[in-house]
A and B are shown apart, each in its own frame.
Chain A
Amino acid sequence: MPMNETILASVVFDQLQQAMACDPPGFTELYRDYLADAGQALEALHDAVYRRQAGELRARAHHLKGSSLVLGAREVALCAAALEESGQSGDLQGTSAMVDRTRQALREVEAELASRLGFAVIPAEKTGAV
């Protein structure tokens, strides 16, 4: 089944998988760590929006953007970039909806990864729902 490029860039996933061909569990662990970290970032983003903390929003969104870019989670990276910009400008209008969009994008990344790597990629503390 072809990968949804907007959700997870196949060029990044494939090349990284190839680079870690000698360590498949390590590859799964890398994406599992990403999902766990992104899940925590999402909660922090939600909190920052709720508390109207623009600086915190910017910093957390930047963090999420970086790992999402490196691992090919394009849609999550785009959402995070938009949140980072809102945090930078201090204009938090629409950020709540953007956090929801990020959450949805992350769910799709998780589903895509689970279909590629199996349920071992889902962080232990979760059951699939981000």
Chain B
Amino acid sequence: MTATPIRVLIADDHPVVRVGLRNMLQADPLIEVAGEARDGVEALELARSLRPDILLLDLAMPIVAGMDALREMTSGNLETRTVVLTGLIDNRQILEALQLGARGVVLKDAAVEHLSACIRAVMQGQYWLDGRPVQNLVQVLRDLAAQTAPPPRKTFGLTARELEVVTLITEGCTNKDIAKQFGISEETVKRHLTNIFNKLGVGNRLELALFALNHHLLPVT
């Protein structure tokens, strides 16, 4: 009895790349190339009609880019698992691809070495990154998120309360508004403002607002 082959759809806009990938995959008796797509739209159409086990998706394709196709794939309730094939990819893109449902990422220059193993691993329910199967996806996601997080906000020695006051000032709040919001007296707000002005070297509320904007003092919303 022979095992059912893994059906793969190749999506890449470059004909030479498609031929190269097809030949690499056909050398694996467990893999069958079910079809080839030249752009993101065709990839989605063929994924829906051919129902391959694996979509091998180039991230940079015309008409519908790879990430958008990936998003469509995930929302389309297809059982096809997507492996992203790319020239270069940064951690932010890897994180985005995984969050959009990609099961593996293979670099084009490592395709001949890893593609077959990646596809087999993904079919066994594993994820594939950095040329090997991933044992702990949660940890990988956590690490990637930590590496791609924006640098911590520079605070210029302001306390947490003073930073909150700065935020409200930039929103146009008066001292009375701020006092009311924090349940403190206007005198205390004035003291906070004096401290803030001294620490930042600004002379009035407008300068403070501009400083806050220019130096990214405001919380990211």
Known contacts A26-B23, A33-B15, A71-B20: A77-B109 contact under CB 8 Å: yes
Contact of A70 among B13, B27, B88, B109 (CB under 8 A): B109
Give A19 to B24 CA distance when docked, in angstroms: 6
Known contacts A19-B112, A70-B21, A77-B109: A34-B87 contact under CB 8 Å: no
Contact of A81 among B21, B58, B87 (CB under 8 A): B87
The verdict on A87 contacting chain B, using a C-beta distance below 8 Å, is no
Contact B16 A16 (CB under 8 A): no
Q: Which residue of A lies closest to B108 (CB)?
A: A69
Give A12 to B110 CA distance when docked, in angstroms: 8
Contact B87 A62 (CB under 8 A): yes
Known contacts A16-B24, A18-B27: A66-B58 contact under CB 8 Å: yes
Chain B residue contacts of A15, Cβ below 8 A: 24, 112-113
Contact A30 B23 (CB under 8 A): yes
Give A3 to B15 CA distance when docked, in angstroms: 26
How many A-B pairs with Cβ below 8 Å? 73
Contact B109 A69 (CB under 8 A): yes
- Count B-side interface residues using an 8 Å CB cutoff: 23
The verdict on B12 contacting chain A, using a C-beta distance below 8 Å, is yes
Contact B17 A67 (CB under 8 A): yes
The verdict on A52 contacting chain B, using a C-beta distance below 8 Å, is no
Known contacts A63-B14, A81-B87: A16-B19 contact under CB 8 Å: no
In whole Å, how far is A113's beta carbon from the nearest beta carbon of chain B?
A: 13
Chain A residue contacts of B27, Cβ below 8 A: 18-20
In whole Å, how far is B25's beta carbon from the nearest beta carbon of chain A?
A: 8
Contact B16 A34 (CB under 8 A): yes
The verdict on B60 contacting chain A, using a C-beta distance below 8 Å, is yes
The verdict on B111 contacting chain A, using a C-beta distance below 8 Å, is yes
Contact of B87 among A11, A12, A16, A66 (CB under 8 A): A66
Chain A residue contacts of B87, Cβ below 8 A: 62, 65-66, 69, 77, 81
Contact B60 A62 (CB under 8 A): yes
A21-39 interface with B by 8 A CB criterion? 23, 26-27, 30, 33-34, 37
Chain B residue contacts of A34, Cβ below 8 A: 16
Contact B109 A9 (CB under 8 A): yes
B binding-site residues for A, Cβ under 8 Å: 12-17, 19-21, 23-24, 26-27, 58, 60, 87-88, 107-109, 111-113
Cβ-closest 10 pairs across A and B: A19-B27, A69-B108, A69-B109, A67-B16, A15-B112, A70-B20, A12-B112, A34-B16, A70-B108, A70-B17
A binding-site residues for B, Cβ under 8 Å: 9, 11-12, 15-16, 18-20, 23, 26-27, 30, 33-34, 37, 62-63, 65-67, 69-72, 74, 77, 81
